Amino acid sequence: MADEPTYDLVVIGGGPAGYAGAIRAGQLGKKVACVEMERAGGTCLNWGCIPSKALLKSAELYRTMLHAEDFGFKVGGIEVDFAKVVERSRGVANQMAKGIEFLFRKNKVEYIRGKAQINVPGLVEITDGEDKGKILSTKNVLVATGCRARMLPGLKADGKRVMTAREILDRRDLPKSCIVLGAGAIGMEFAYFMNSFGCEVTIVEMLPNVLPVEDDEVSKFVERDFKKQGVTIHTDTKAENIAVTDDGVTLDAVKGDKITPLKAESLLVAIGVQANMDGLLSKKVKLEMDRKYIKVDRHYNTSVKGIYAAGDIIGPPWLAHVATYEAVQAVNGMFGHGEPRPMERFPGCTYCQPQVASIGMTERDVKEKGIKYKIGKFPFTASGKAVAAAESDGFVKLIVAEEDGEILGAHITGHEATELIAEYALGMELEATWEEIHGTIHAHPTLSEALMEAAAATHGEAIHI
C-alpha cells in the first residue's frame, strides 16, 4: 500500500489567493503548506496594493498641506524627503507581511520560501530556494501564482528609464518627467502620485477613456480633474516607435493621422498583466488554458484531478479581493464545506484623487442589454460633510431597474469613494431596492448620506438637490 500523502493541501503562491486559501485550510484543521518564492503577501502586499496606498496617502497629505491656509493654518515652505516617503511605504509592506507570517503560524500553515513545480498530480517539488529539491506529497494542489506586469516587446524594465509598478515602488528618487502607458487603475494611481510631487506626467491610453472599465460619466469626470491637476492625457492614442536613450525615453503618440512626439525622463508601463506560469508545471502536467490563463470550472477544478486554481492566474478581474474570495471558495469546496458560491458581482476601486469605486453594470452595459432603467445622481457639492472637509469634487451615480427598483450598478467618484461602495455592494448582495437604501436612516452629516440621496434621486425624491 502506498504511503499516505503528507499534506492535505499544498498552495503554490502566497498572495491574496494563496495565503487566504492556506489559512482557510488551516482553519478547517487540514495539514497545509504554502510555497511562496518571495514573501508572504505576494505582489499585492509587497509590491502592489499596500505599498502603493501608502505612497498615495503621502501624496494626498502633501496636497492637503499645500492648502493649509484654507483651513486657517499658516505654515512655512513644505519640503519633501522623497526617499523617506518611499521608505515608509516599504515599512508598511514589511509590517503587513509579518502579519501574514503570524497568521500562518496561528493556523498551523507550513510556510516554505521557494519556487515550486508540480511534477505530477500530488507531487510538488521545490525547484529553487533554501529547500531546493524537497518533494511535497499532497492530496490537493491549489495554484495561486498570480500575475506580473506585462511588458511591451523590446522593452526591459531597468528601474530608471523604463518602469513597471514594481520598480517605481522601490525608486528613491522622482523623475522630473514621466510618460505613463495605460490609464487603468495602476496607471492612474501612479500618475496621480508622481504629479502630486512635481513630476511632469503624460498619460497615453489606447481606448477612448481613462479608466475604460468604469462608467463613461465617471471616466470623463476623472479625466477633467486630472487635467486640472496638470496631467497631460492622450486618449484613443497608440504609442509607437518607443526608444530608450541615455537621457530619457521617446515615443510617438499616434491618434488617427496625428502624430505627437513625446519625450520624458522615464516611462511607466501599465498596460496590463500576464500569468505567472514560468516553471510551474513539469512536462508531465498539462493544464487546459483559456487565453493563457488556467481554465477552471465553478468548483475551481482544473482539467487535472486534484489540481485547483484561483486568483489572478485564472484570468480577470485581476483584483486582490476577488482572488481571496475565489481561494476561500475553492478550499471550502475541495474539503466539503459547502458548495462554492459563484461570484456574481464585485467592487472595483481606484485610489487616486478623486477616488473611483463601482459595482455592477455601467449605464453603457444596461443600454446594450436593453434594460429599462432609471438614474439617480447626487453631487458631493451638495453634501455638508464633503464641503466642510473641502472634498466636494465628485458624485454618486446609481442605476436601478425601472420595473422593480433593483440596483443594477453603482458608481462613485470623490473622497473616500472606495470606502463608500461597500454599502451598495452589501445592498446588491441582499437584493435591496433603491427604496430600501433611501428608507434607511443615514447619519448626518456624513459622506454616506450621498448614497441615500442618490437612491432617492432615481425617482425624484432627493431632498438636497
Residue 3: per-residue pLDDT: 65
How many helices (H) and strands (E) would you count in the chain? Answer: 13, 23
CA separation for the pair 33, 396 (Å, rounded)? 44
Q: What are 162's strand-pairing partners?
A: 267
Question: Where does residue 446 fall: left (phi above 0), alpha (psi -120 to 50 degrees), or beta otherwise?
Answer: beta
Q: Which of 410, 422, 420, 344 is nearest to 373 (CA)?
A: 410
Is the CATH number of domain 162-271 3.50.50.60?
yes
Cα(first)–Cα(last) distance of the chain, in Å? 75
CA separation for the pair 11, 18 (Å, rounded)? 6
Q: Is 278 helix (H, G, I), strand (E, B) or coil?
A: coil
- Tell me if domain 7-149+274-334 and domain 354-457 are identical in fold: no
Sign of CA dihedral 106, 111, 117, 120: negative
Return all residues near 415 (Cβ < 8 A) that are at least 6 apart: 353, 354, 355, 380, 386, 389, 391, 393, 394, 447
Sign of CA dihedral 306, 311, 312, 316: positive
Q: How far is CA 323 from each of CA 19, 230, 388, rounded to the nearest angstrom?
A: 10, 35, 37
CA separation for the pair 344, 397 (Å, rounded)? 20
Strand order across the 200-204 sheet: 162-163, 266-269, 177-181, 200-204, 232-234
Judged on CB neighbours under 10 Å (0-12, 13-18, 19+), 130 is exposed
Helices 82-106 & 49-66 angle (0-180, nearest 10): 140
CA separation for the pair 120, 284 (Å, rounded)? 6
CA separation for the pair 208, 370 (Å, rounded)? 23
Question: Where does residue 298 fall: left (phi above 0), alpha (psi -120 to 50 degrees), or beta otherwise?
Answer: alpha
Catalytic residue numbers read 444
Can you identify the CATH homologous superfamily of domain 7-149+274-334? FAD/NAD(P)-binding domain (3.50.50.60)
Annotated binding site for NAD(+): 182-189, 205, 272
- Fold (CATH) for 354-457: Enolase-like; domain 1 (3.30.390)
Sequence letter at residue 431: E
CA separation for the pair 376, 458 (Å, rounded)? 4
Q: Which three cell numbers stand for residue 109?
A: 500553515
Judged on CB neighbours under 10 Å (0-12, 13-18, 19+), 352 is buried
Sequence letter at residue 220: K
Q: Is 358 helix (H, G, I), strand (E, B) or coil?
A: strand
Residues of the chain with pLDDT under 70: 1-3
Hey, where are the domains in the chain?
7-149+274-334, 162-271, 354-457
Residue 1: per-residue pLDDT: 33
Q: Which of 375, 354, 464, 373 is nearest to 420 (CA)?
A: 354
Cα-to-chain-centroid distance, residue 346: 12
Residue 4: per-residue pLDDT: 75
Q: Which three cell numbers stand for residue 29?
A: 484543521
Annotated binding site for FAD: 53, 312
Cβ proximity of 146 and 278 under 8 Å: no
DSSP per-residue string spanning 368-418: HHT--EEEEEEEGGG-HHHHHTT---EEEEEEEETTT-BEEEEEEEETTHH
Residue 76: per-residue pLDDT: 86
Angle (CA) 386-435-429 rounded to 5° is: 85
How crowded is the C-beta side of 286, counted as CA atoms within 13 Å? 1
